[in-house]
């Protein structure tokens, strides 16, 4: 693991790191904030998964999470959103697919299957690296994310309720198999058989029997993607039918940007901290 940069912040350390990923076959960069409490022993881990077009840097620079993370004593891990490199298949003119748009799936279709393995990268490889290299209490993990990353957080938590003690999302794509801006990506990554998409669709996972103790979702009411790509009411209906407690906050006047995310970031971290035993 290579250290790209380190800076002291709120008594902790904000770092950026790079490693050669065996899962994606590419170098992968990620950010980790370690709070000051880690000097006394391992602390809980909160994973943040970013949205379309983002890298690790977007939330690191705009998310305003460090003060809350330092106050509660939680590590924040911010991975990249896709493999990158000259040899990685991409559609440079399509912001909804390829570079910056890994959708947290393991691709099965060529030519994407060799590199686009973001699900396994997050759940297996990067998890093992965080456990080995940082003062992380891996028995206390939470996960959250934004938009495409909210989709990723929900699906990963639903498939691993034994690992994650908390899950929340900002403006998640709750049913990517039916949303206009995600269906084309799922078809390219996973093939035309829509049954293969269900394991990467939060609403479908709930319909198919997956459960999580409770969920928190914040959604901007002025989000331009609200009615076509996000549709939180579908998740609300699925959770109600399954008996999963869902706190869904529709925030008047807020859009899809980091102005929205940063406004409610501290609330989410406090919510996770309580469920992580802090």
Burial, 141: exposed, middle or buried (Cβ in 10 Å; 0-12, 13-18, 19+)? buried
Specify whether 147 is catalytic. Answer: yes
C-beta separation of 152 from 105 below 8 A: no
Q: Tokens 């697919």 appear where?
A: 97
Which two three-digit tokens encode residue 113? Answer: 């299957």
User: Cα(176)–Cα(47) distance, rounded to whole angstroms?
Assistant: 21
User: Cα(120)–Cα(127) distance, rounded to whole angstroms?
Assistant: 10
Specify whether 208 is catalytic. Answer: no
**Catalytic annotation, pick one of 82, 147, 168, 177:** 147
- Residues facing 110 on adjacent strands: none
**Catalytic annotation, pick one of 106, 201, 218, 223:** 223
**Catalytic annotation, pick one of 146, 256, 268, 272:** 256
User: Cα(233)–Cα(244) distance, rounded to whole angstroms?
Assistant: 14
CA 159 centroid distance within chain? 14
Burial, 117: exposed, middle or buried (Cβ in 10 Å; 0-12, 13-18, 19+)? buried
C-beta separation of 43 from 135 below 8 A: yes
What residues are labeled active site? 147, 223, 256
């Amino acid at each position: 693991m290579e250290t790209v940069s380190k800076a002291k912040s709120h008594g902790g350390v904000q770092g950026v790191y790079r490693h050669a990923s065996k899962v994606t076959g590419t170098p992968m960069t990620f950010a980790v904030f370690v709070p000051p409490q880690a000097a006394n022993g391992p602390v809980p881990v909160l994973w943040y998964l970013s949205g379309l077009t983002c890298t690790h840097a977007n939330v690191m620079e705009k998310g305003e999470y460090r003060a809350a993370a330092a106050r509660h004593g939680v590590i924040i891990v911010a991975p990249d959103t896709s493999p990158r490199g000259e040899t990685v298949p991409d559609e440079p003119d399509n912001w909804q697919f390829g570079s910056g748009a890994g959708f947290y799936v393991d691709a099965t279709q060529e030519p994407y299957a060799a590199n686009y393995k973001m699900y396994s990268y997050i759940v297996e490889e990067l998890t093992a690296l965080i456990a080995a290299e940082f003062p992380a209490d891996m028995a206390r993990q939470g996960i959250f994310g934004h938009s495409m990353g909210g989709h990723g957080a929900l699906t990963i938590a639903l498939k691993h309720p034994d690992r994650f003690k908390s899950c929340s999302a900002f403006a998640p794509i709750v049913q990517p198999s039916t949303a206009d801006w995600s269906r084309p990506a799922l078809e390219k990554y996973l093939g035309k058989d829509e049954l293969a998409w269900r394991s990467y669709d939060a609403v479908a996972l709930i319909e198919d029997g997956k459960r999580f103790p409770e969920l928190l979702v914040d959604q901007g009411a002025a989000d331009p993607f609200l009615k076509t790509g996000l549709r939180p009411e579908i998740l609300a209906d699925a959770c109600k039918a399954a008996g999963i407690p869902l706190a869904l906050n529709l925030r008047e006047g807020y859009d899809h940007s980091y102005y929205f995310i940063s406004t409610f970031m501290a609330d989410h971290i406090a919510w996770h901290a309580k469920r992580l035993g802090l």
